[in-house]
Amino acid sequence: MIEQFCFGRGLPDNASANLIDIYKKWRDADIIAELDKNRSDLIMVYQNITHDFNKASAIRSGNAFNIKESYIVGARKMDKRGCVGSHRYVRTFHADTFDEVFQALKANGYTIYAVDNILSYNPQNILDCDFPKKSAFVMGEEQKGLDEDTIRKCDGMVFIEQFGSVRSMNVACAASCIMFEYSRRFR
Ligand SMILES: C[S@@+](CC[C@H](N)C(=O)[O-])C[C@H]1O[C@@H](n2cnc3c(N)ncnc32)[C@H](O)[C@@H]1O
């Protein structure tokens, strides 16, 4: 089942300390309405992200780039402090399975990319990928990456080129790179 992600209680009613000045005295509903005018079509999907702070960091970036929606698939638990209030303004959903998200995105005309750097899937450098405006990007688990079933459903795999010695970067950092590149092209 896909439903609105519930962030629970524990945060103050307004997150004004971290808002840009023009929004400081606005009500949340008005901020959301203003952001809605300028949301991109970008959708980010996070599959079984286990490290609590990673979900929060990715959601915060989703607000920074004002993306359309984020989907959290599988584990719900997270440390929402890392959102610094941004979760109020991002449309975030929870899904039990990737298949449900896949069906919904396809019904809405989305091209879906697995984001990982597994060479056996012949991934394309994101910089060389001619992805459409209605693109969704699926991020994998911190330890295991993306599972095979998910990868096979996607229309392709893209990777972020690295120049260091460690195999991969943190999933929230990788998601932010994708959001940045999408925004560079379509904003
Ligand atoms: C820490 S990685 C783990 C899997 C990774 N394949 C590995 O071998 O280390 C967690 C997730 O971050 C994303 N990621 C990290 N670095 C990436 C890169 N250079 N290119 C594409 N995705 C990356 C992917 O979504 C991946 O599933």
Residue-wise pLDDT tens digits, 153-177: 999 999 999 999 999 999 999 999 9
CB of 160 sitting under 6 A from ligand 1: yes
Residue 11: the pLDDT is: 53
pLDDT of residue 9 exceeding 70, the answer is no
Average pLDDT of the segment spanning 137-163: 96
Residue 122: the pLDDT is: 97
Residue 10: the pLDDT is: 54
Residue 50: the pLDDT is: 80
Give the full edge-to-edge strand order of the sheet including 92-95: 2-4, 92-95, 69-73, 43-47, 135-139, 111-115, 156-159, 124-125
Average pLDDT of the segment spanning 73-86: 88
CB of 115 sitting under 6 A from ligand 1: yes
Q: Where are the chain's structural domains? A: 2-186
> For residues 12 and 4, what is the distance between their CA atoms, to the nearest angstrom?
20
CB of 169 sitting under 6 A from ligand 1: yes
Closest CA to 59 of 84, 41, 35: 84
pLDDT of residue 97 exceeding 70, the answer is yes
For residues 146 and 114, is the Cβ–Cβ distance under 8 A?
Answer: yes
Residue with CA at minimum distance from ligand 1 atom 3: 145
> For residues 19 and 9, what is the distance between their CA atoms, to the nearest angstrom?
20
Residue 183: the pLDDT is: 98
Average pLDDT of the segment spanning 63-89: 92
Task: Kindly report the pTM of this predicted structure.
Answer: 0.95
Which CATH architecture fits 2-186?
Answer: 3-Layer(aba) Sandwich (3.40)
